[in-house]
Amino acid sequence: MKRIVFLIVALFLVFVGFYIYASDGKITYSAEKGKFVLPFGKTYNYTDILVKRVVDGDTLLLENGERVRLIGIDTPEMHESEKLYRDSQRSGQSRSIIQRLGRRSYQFTRSLVEGKRVSLEFDVEKHDRYDRLLAYVYLKDGTFVNAKIVEEGYASLMTIPPNVRYADLFLKLYQEAREKRRGLWE
């Protein structure tokens, strides 16, 4: 019996030691999940992280394997999905036209951030229901990626409270892009 208790205590101490080493011992409160979160594994410096790949016009894959959904913007779908079908029905445009626009948005975002180091800024909620990070993204030269995509006409607006920090800016940039027929609006 003493050996079992010793083994359990030893395993517990190893786990606690590994946790403190791997995550700097940070315990956070997640408002969206309504509970304390004890992160397991390495924490990342989101002020200097590489964009490994652009998934689509508004989603990035980071070097640590996490996906980032850009807050406040929405680009056309380029892959077959339920959203593509809904967007087609809602807009009256064919799926192939939406996918072509989606590829243009993807190419713009890709040329802007793929292979570059960025910093992330979070709003109220840090993850969406698909467990993607929700973030505002900045290039090292200070370029605000979410805003640049809207400004150049490659995204529509998608404001989902409570993540609304830059909603007014995005609306202004969106209206200007449409008026000046930039990007997808030409």
For 90-118, the pLDDT digits (tens) are 999 999 999 999 999 999 999 999 999 99
In the set 3, 32, 67, 69, the catalytic residue is 69
Q: Please compute the mean of the pLDDT values over residues 155-183 and round it to a whole number.
A: 98
pLDDT for 144 equals 98
pLDDT for 1 equals 77
Least trusted range by pLDDT, from 16-25, 73-82, 152-161: 16-25
Residue 181, both tokens: 């027929």
Checking if the pLDDT of 57 tops 70, the result is yes
Q: Please compute the mean of the pLDDT values over residues 49-58 and round it to a whole number.
A: 98
Q: Is 165 one of the annotated active-site residues of the chain?
A: no
The answer to whether 62 and 42 are in contact (CB under 8 A) is no
21 band by pLDDT with thresholds 50, 70 and 90: very low
Structural domain boundaries enclosing 99: 44-185
- Dist. CA 146–CA 72, nearest whole Å: 7
Checking if the pLDDT of 140 tops 80, the result is yes
Same domain, 76 and 149: yes
Q: Is 69 one of the annotated active-site residues of the chain?
A: yes
Higher pLDDT pick, 29 / 46: 46
Please name which of 107, 175, 169, 184 lies closest in space to residue 136, comparing C-alpha atoms.
Answer: 169
Same domain, 33 and 67: no
In the set 66, 77, 104, 151, the catalytic residue is 77
Same domain, 86 and 173: yes
Q: Please compute the mean of the pLDDT values over residues 11-18 and round it to a whole number.
A: 59
- Dist. CA 123–CA 105, nearest whole Å: 24
Q: Please compute the mean of the pLDDT values over residues 77-97 and round it to a whole number.
A: 92
Same domain, 35 and 100: no
Sequence-distant contacts of 140-149: CB under 8 A, at least 24 apart: 140/116, 143/112, 145/70, 145/109, 145/112, 145/113, 145/118, 146/70, 146/71, 146/72, 146/73, 146/170, 147/173, 148/112, 149/57, 149/58, 149/70, 149/73, 149/75, 149/105, 149/108, 149/109, 149/112
In the set 66, 104, 132, 151, the catalytic residue is 132
Least trusted range by pLDDT, from 9-18, 110-119, 151-160: 9-18
pLDDT for 7 equals 65
Same domain, 112 and 139: yes
Same domain, 109 and 17: no
Q: Is 181 one of the annotated active-site residues of the chain?
A: no
Checking if the pLDDT of 23 tops 60, the result is no
The alpha carbon of 95 is separated from its chain's Cα centroid by a whole number of angstroms, namely 24
Beta bridge partners of 119: 138
pLDDT for 8 equals 75
The answer to whether 149 and 169 are in contact (CB under 8 A) is no
Q: What is the share, in percent, of the chain residues with pLDDT greater than 90? A: 74
Same domain, 147 and 102: yes
Same domain, 119 and 170: yes
As for how many domains the chain has, the answer is 2
Same domain, 35 and 111: no
Same domain, 122 and 37: no
